[in-house]
């Protein structure tokens, strides 16, 4: 029986050509992408494609476009065995993380992929990424949102972009890869089990969020301005979740909590996690009642915050769910 896979083109380097007048890369017609990879045609595979209304460079990605892509999956969910989303690499980890929360009870593969070099270039990595992403989506062995790139299948909400120069653009710092592609595709035992529930697509994502990255010498006025700028704030702190013990800093955090803001603390470090109470410099967060995000990536933390703030639930429920592993985004 043929597997039906839907390719969803959003733009990005994988489908770009050079504009001769501006000498810049711009998205091109999606049908040209399929013509460039005849290997995708197979007797075992029924491959169809659709594009968002206005393909973009992924630096222009926005929650409104997330909803557009999610609706494509929702409207076609019953008709396909899996989905491959072609997306620019710059914000892929954000979009893929967001989709892990937006698509509840997922029991089919949603694989994000792209390339570092446009598909029309001689040395492009696009062909292998796309072909293998399609193979994985059709395998029936994956039932979650993932990123496939340069021989590795990553859990979407555990992935970060780490390189602009090499084909190994992504890394999963605190979680094992889900599969490795060599002569054969070797799947790991950490794959998410299939759900027997009906797919729920959450379309409300709040943009009332901010990221505060601490650095030595950051002004209290800067911290205050960022805390006042949004309902939900993700703080990227030092090391294992540490920050200045300045009482004025702690006071700002406490004021924010009293003003019903949701504040979460994660580590700036790629590997490891923010922990409670290990050092004296954890105390500012402990005293103020800031949520500890443990080993969540920035991409997962901010999109989880956007997702939860978009639901019609109170602050106490949001704080509870923030500290709950919803989609494998945080270690228990």
Burial of 248 (C-beta count, 10 Å sphere; 0-12/13-18/19+): exposed
Beta strands in 63-144 (DSSP E): 82-86, 103-104, 109-113
pLDDT of residue 324: 93
Give the burial string for 16-35 (b: 16+ CB within 10 Å, else e): beeeeeeeeeebbebeebbe
pLDDT of residue 19: 66
pLDDT of residue 240: 86
Residues of the chain with CATH 3.40.50.40: 209-322
Burial of 304 (C-beta count, 10 Å sphere; 0-12/13-18/19+): buried
pLDDT of residue 63: 96
Evaluate if pTM is beyond 0.85. Answer: yes
pLDDT of residue 266: 94
Which CATH architecture does the domain made up of 3-201 adopt?
A: 3-Layer(aba) Sandwich (3.40)
User: In CATH, what number does 209-322 get?
Assistant: 3.40.50.40
Task: Count CA within 13 A, CB hemisphere, residue 174.
Answer: 20
Which are the catalytic amino acids? 13
> Mean pLDDT, consecutive 10-residue segments, the chain of 332 residues?
91 70 66 67 83 88 97 97 93 97 96 79 75 93 94 96 82 94 89 84 96 96 96 94 87 92 93 71 71 93 97 92 94 83
Burial of 104 (C-beta count, 10 Å sphere; 0-12/13-18/19+): middle
Which residue from 53, 56, 111 is spatially nearest to 85, judged by alpha carbons? 111
Residues of the chain with CATH 3.40.50.1170: 3-201
pLDDT of residue 299: 97
pLDDT of residue 282: 63
């Amino acid at each position: 029986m043929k597997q039906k896979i839907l390719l969803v083109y959003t733009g990005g380097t994988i489908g770009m050509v050079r504009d001769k007048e501006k000498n810049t890369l711009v998205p091109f017609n999606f049908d040209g992408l399929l013509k460039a990879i005849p290997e995708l045609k197979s007797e075992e595979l029924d491959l169809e494609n659709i594009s968002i209304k206005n393909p973009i460079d992924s630096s222009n990605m926005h929650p409104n476009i997330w909803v557009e892509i999610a609706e494509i999956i929702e409207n076609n969910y019953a008709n396909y065995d899996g989905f491959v989303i072609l997306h620019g690499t710059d914000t892929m980890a954000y979009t893929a993380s967001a989709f892990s929360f937006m698509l509840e009870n997922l029991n089919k593969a949603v694989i994000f992929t792209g390339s570092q070099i446009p598909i029309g270039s001689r040395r492009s990595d696009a062909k292998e990424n796309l072909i293998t992403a399609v193979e994985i989506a059709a395998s029936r062995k994956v039932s979650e949102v993932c990123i496939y790139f340069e021989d590795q299948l990553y859990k979407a909400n555990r992935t970060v972009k780490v390189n602009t120069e090499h084909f190994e653009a992504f890394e999963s710092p605190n979680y094992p890869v889900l599969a490795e592609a060599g002569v054969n595709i070797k799947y790991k035992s950490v794959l998410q089990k299939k759900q027997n529930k009906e797919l729920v697509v959450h379309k409300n994502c709040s943009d009332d969020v901010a990221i505060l990255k601490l650095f030595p010498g950051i002004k209290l006025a800067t911290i205050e301005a960022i805390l006042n700028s949004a309902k939900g704030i993700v703080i990227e702190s030092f090391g294992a979740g540490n920050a200045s013990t300045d009482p004025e800093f702690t006071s700002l955090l406490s004021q924010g909590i009293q003003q019903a803001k949701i504040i979460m603390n994660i580590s700036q470090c790629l590997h490891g996690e923010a922990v409670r109470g290990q050092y004296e410099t954890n105390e500012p967060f402990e005293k103020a009642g800031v949520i500890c995000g443990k080993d969540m990536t920035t991409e997962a933390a901010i999109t989880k915050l956007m997702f939860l703030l978009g639901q019609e639930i109170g602050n106490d429920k949001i704080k509870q769910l923030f500290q709950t592993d919803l989609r494998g985004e945080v270690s228990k």
